[in-house]
């Protein structure tokens, strides 16, 4: 019985650590898929972000020219950090949900574009 409890505790701790937040950095520019959010090669880590991801979108205007586009999907991430010059376009039927405590539960529920705001750690969503 004691061994079963220890094994259960270890499995629980392992599953919690596997779901810890992970950085996901946009690079864009994958041939034929330059702006597709859900294309793994557009991410530095070669994996699409999920609800546990801390997403970073740098200014790629001098390299790949491929800012990310959400088009027709619902995406949930933990946090979103955008650098000056970066942008994220959200298509008509796409949704962006940012749930982490630092993001203040940001939701973009209509077509538009997310850009860095004028103050540190702020984002501006402009609908189209």
Span 41-53, pLDDT tens digits = 999 999 999 999 9
Query: What CA–CA distance (Å, rounded) separates 8 from 38?
Result: 35
Dig out the tokens for 125 from the structure.
């969503």
Query: What CA–CA distance (Å, rounded) separates 69 from 4?
Result: 47
pLDDT of residue 93: 83
Could you report the per-residue pLDDT of 51-70, keeping only the tens digit for each? 999 999 999 988 887 999 99
Q: Are 88 and 60 in contact (CB under 8 A)?
A: no
Average pLDDT of the residues in 23-52:
96
Query: What CA–CA distance (Å, rounded) separates 118 from 65?
Result: 23
Sign of torsion over alpha carbons 20, 26, 32, 37: positive
Question: How many CB atoms within 10 Å of residue 49?
Answer: 24
Query: What CA–CA distance (Å, rounded) separates 77 from 54?
Result: 7
Could you report the per-residue pLDDT of 74-95, keeping only the tens digit for each? 899 988 888 888 889 988 888 8
Query: What CA–CA distance (Å, rounded) separates 54 from 90?
Result: 18
Q: Parallel, antiparallel, or unpaired for β 79-82 and 53-57? A: parallel
């Amino acid at each position: 019985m004691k061994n079963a409890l220890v094994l259960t505790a270890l499995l629980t701790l392992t599953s919690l650590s596997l779901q810890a937040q992970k950085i996901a950095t946009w690079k864009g520019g994958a041939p034929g898929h330059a702006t597709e959010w859900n294309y793994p090669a557009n991410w530095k880590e070669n994996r699409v972000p999920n609800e546990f991801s801390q997403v970073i979108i740098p200014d790629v205007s001098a390299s790949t020219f491929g800012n990310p586009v959400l088009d027709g999907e619902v995406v949930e991430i933990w946090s979103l950090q955008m650098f000056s010059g970066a942008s994220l376009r959200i298509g008509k039927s796409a949704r962006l949900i940012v749930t982490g405590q630092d993001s203040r539960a940001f939701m973009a529920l209509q077509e538009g574009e997310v850009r860095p705001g004028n103050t540190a750690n702020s984002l501006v969503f402009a609908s189209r």
